[in-house]
A and B are shown apart, each in its own frame.
Chain A
Amino acid sequence: MTYIPFIDNPNADKSQTTLDVPANLNVNTLIPCTSITHTGITNSSGQLVINSGLSVLLTAACLIDRRTTYTGGYLVFQWYDVTNSSWIGRSCQLSTATWNNNTHRYRSESFARCVVIATVQTTVELRIKSILNVSAINEQYDGSSIPASSWPSPWYSILSF
C-alpha cells in the first residue's frame, strides 16, 4: 500500500491586500501591488522582491471599467519576472460586453497566478499583457475610487514557505 502523507507546514506565511491604479493603460505597464507585510518579501515601488530560498504562490485579480467607450473590451494581466525578464504563471483575461449580446456568455475569468521558487533574490510584478477598450483599471471610469463595501475589489495574495 502506498501512503501519501499530508505535509503540514505551519510556517507558511499568507497575505492578501489590494492592487493600485497603473500609471497608464499601455501594454507592459506595471499594475502596482500596495504595501504588504510578509516574511521574506518586500514591496518596492509596487514590485515584490522575494528573498532567495523562498517558494511562493502569487495570485491577483484586477477590476476594469470601460464605461466611456461603450463597446466590449478586455484586459489581460499576468505576473512578470523582472529579474529574468519573462512572463510567469498563467494570465487572466477580464472582458466587458455590450447589452445582452452574449459576447462573453461563458465567463471564465478568475485570477492570474504563478509559482516562484527563488534560488536568488527575485523581483516580480503584475503587468498589463494585452488591453482593448478599457477606460480604467482598479478605479472607476471617472477616476474615482472603488466603493469600499462589497464591490469587486482589485486584490493580490501571497502564500510562501
Chain B
Amino acid sequence: MSYRVKKGAFAVGIVNSGQDTGSGSLTKLSLDSIRTSAGVFHSTTLFIQSGLAFSDTYFYDTGGGDPNYNPSAGHCPNTTGGFGWDMTDGYDNAVTSGAVGCATYTNDELAIYYYEFVDQNHSVNSSICVVL
C-alpha cells in the first residue's frame, strides 16, 4: 500500500539505517521513515502531488581502506533534477558543488537517488528529503 500527499503539504523522509550502495550506478535509497504535515506516517512509499524537494546526505567511514580517501557521490530527490554532491572530508576535491540536491515533484515518489563514484568503505546516513 502507498499513500499520496495532496498539493500544499509538507513531508520529511529520513535515512537512518546506513546504506552502502556500491559505486557506479544510480540507486534509490530506502527511506526509513516519512512524516507529513497531512498527518500521514508511513515507512516506505509516499507520492507527492506537487512539491519542491531537497536532498542532503552524509557519509561515514565503515573502517578499512584509506582514510580521507575519495568517496564522492551525487544525490537528488529524483533522477532528473539538480544533483548535490558529497565527498569525504579532506579529499582532494578539484571539483565541488552545493551539497544539496533539488527537484520538483509532480506525482513523484518521495525519494533520494544516489550515485557513488568511488566506494572506499563508506556508507550513507542521516539523509533527509523535504517537500514544500
Contact = CB atoms under 8 A, between A and B. Distances in A.
Tell me whether A and B are bound partners.
Answer: yes
Contacts of B84: 61, 152
Contacts of B83: 150-153, 155
Contact of B98 (A92, A98, A140, A141): A92
B97 A97 contact: no
B94 A111 contact: no
B81 interface: yes
B104 interface: yes
A14 B52 contact: yes
Interface string B6-21: 1111100000000000
B68 A110 contact: no
A96 B90 contact: no
Chain A interface SS verdict (over half)? loop
A96 B94 contact: yes
B102 interface: yes
Given A96-B96, A106-B89, A150-B83, A155 B102 contact: yes
Interface in B76-109: 81-85, 87, 89-100, 102-104
A29 interface: no
A28 interface: no
Nearest to A8: B8
Interface string A46-67: 0000000000010111111111
A119 to B, nearest CB: 23
Contacts of A86: none
Contacts of A109: 96, 98-99
B52 A16 contact: yes
Contacts of A141: 94
B71 interface: no
A61 B96 CA distance: 10
Nearest to A57: B132
A150 B92 contact: no
Interface string A1-36: 000001011101011111000000000000000000
A100 B96 contact: no
Q: What 7 A-B pairs come out closest when comparing CB atoms?
A: A155-B82, A61-B98, A152-B85, A150-B115, A152-B97, A63-B97, A105-B89
23 contacts: A10-B6, A16-B52, A16-B82, A61-B100, A63-B95, A63-B96, A94-B96, A95-B96, A96-B94, A96-B96, A97-B91, A104-B89, A105-B89, A105-B90, A107-B99, A111-B100, A111-B102, A150-B26, A150-B74, A153-B82, A155-B81, A155-B82, A155-B83
